[in-house]
């Protein structure tokens, strides 16, 4: 089965996000160093890299929170971001947070539908500070999806969750992506998470792409797969993790 997938070159969809020669400095050495990267329409890209390698900086630039000073960035107008902390407004009920800024008359219905998609129908009227960590993160994802973005960015959205909740959330994000088909850039420290979800994994080091791996595995994916293990080795190696030989 793998033999069938490996040989032919991967056909990339037409890019919706184009980054060319993006450089970013905060006074010292470049945090992003002449970075080139593109993400295709509906493509799921995982962004890995050691702490401080510039992942969040890249995301903030793409989200328009930081200005582009050197290089060129082309991003569609409708982007959505999910941060590591859910960043819900504590003084608005969960559905109001999800519908924030929608403006349309059916904002409430759409917010409630989006909350249903992430399995939060029962917490629609709750105050955000009463949500569990996983629930708050799901509300953050609903708030991003309700806008039907062309491009969705997630910055370590599951980092602070327990292992079991994280597995469930990963499966949920996989399903949501299959349904909505937006381009996704997922920042993560978790190699398995990248291999489970992404079409492509990009490893950042000192603001440059150190390794880029196409993950051409059938879905749903399983950890037991031989190719899965090979790719995990490649990524861990790129991240500089010493591996015991199995």
Partner 1 sequence: MLDTTLQPVADQSASQRRPVRPARSTTGQAARRPGPWRRLASPVVVLALWQAACSAGLISPQTLASPWQILQTAISLTRDGTLPHNLLVSLGRALSGLAIGTVAGVALALVAGLSRLGEDAVDALMQMGRTLPVLAMVPLFILWFGIGETPKIALVSLGVLFPIYLNLFKGVRNVDPKLLEMARTLGLSRAQTILQVILPGALPDLLLGLRFAVGISWLMLVVAEQINANSGIGHMMMDAEDFLRTDIILVGLFVYAALGLISDQIVRSIEARVLAWRPSNVR
Ligand X SMILES: Nc1ncnc2c1ncn2[C@@H]1O[C@H](COP(=O)(O)OP(=O)(O)OP(=O)(O)O)[C@@H](O)[C@H]1O
Query: Cα(158)–Cα(167) distance, rounded to whole angstroms?
Result: 9
Min dist. Cβ of residue 172 to Mg ion (A) = 22
* Residues binding partner 1: number (CB under 8 A): 21
Q: If you search the block for the tokens 């500089």, which residue do you land on?
A: 240
Decide which of ligand X, partner 1, Mg ion, none touches 216; Cβ closer than 5 to 8 Å per partner kind.
none
Whether residue 173 contacts residue 137, with contact meaning beta carbons closer than 8 Å, is answered with no
Min dist. Cβ of residue 19 to ligand X (A) = 14
50 or 221: CB nearest ligand X: 50
Pick the binder of Mg ion from 16, 22, 44, 56 (CB under 5 A): 56
Min dist. Cβ of residue 52 to ligand X (A) = 4
Query: Cα(44)–Cα(13) distance, rounded to whole angstroms?
Result: 11
Q: Which two tokens stand for residue 148?
A: 């039907």
Query: Cα(241)–Cα(1) distance, rounded to whole angstroms?
Result: 29
Min dist. Cβ of residue 95 to Mg ion (A) = 29
Query: Cα(151)–Cα(39) distance, rounded to whole angstroms?
Result: 9
Pick the binder of partner 1 from 38, 41, 50, 85 (CB under 8 A): 85
**Contact region with partner 1 (CB under 8 A), list: 80-88, 113-121, 187-195, 200-208:** 80-88
Give the residues across from 15 on adjacent strands.
40
């Amino acid at each position: 089965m793998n033999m069938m997938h490996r040989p032919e070159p991967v056909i990339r969809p037409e890019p919706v996000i184009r980054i060319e020669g993006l450089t970013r400095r905060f006074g010292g050495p470049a945090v992003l160093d002449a970075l080139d990267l593109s993400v295709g329409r509906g493509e799921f890209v995982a962004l890995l890299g050691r702490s401080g390698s510039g992942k969040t900086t890249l995301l903030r630039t793409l989200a328009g929170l930081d200005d582009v000073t050197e290089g060129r960035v082309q991003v569609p107008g409708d982007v959505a971001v999910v941060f590591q902390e859910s960043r819900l407004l504590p003084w608005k009920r969960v559905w109001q947070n999800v519908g924030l800024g929608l403006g349309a008359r059916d904002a409430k219905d759409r917010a409630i539908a989006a909350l249903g998609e992430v399995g939060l129908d029962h917490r629609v009227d709750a105050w955000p500070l009463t949500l569990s960590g996983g629930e708050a993160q799901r509300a953050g994802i609903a708030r991003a999806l309700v806008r039907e973005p062309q491009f969705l960015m997630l910055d370590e959205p599951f980092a602070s969750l327990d292992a079991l909740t994280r597995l469930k959330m990963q499966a949920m994000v996989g399903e949501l992506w299959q349904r909505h088909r937006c381009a996704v850039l997922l920042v993560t420290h978790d190699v398995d998470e990248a291999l489970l979800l992404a079409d492509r994994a990009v490893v950042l080091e000192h603001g440059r792409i150190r390794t880029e791996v196409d993950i051409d595995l059938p879905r749903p994916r399983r950890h037991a797969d031989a190719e899965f293990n090979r790719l995990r080795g490649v990524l861990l190696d790129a991240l500089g993790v010493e591996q015991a030989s199995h």
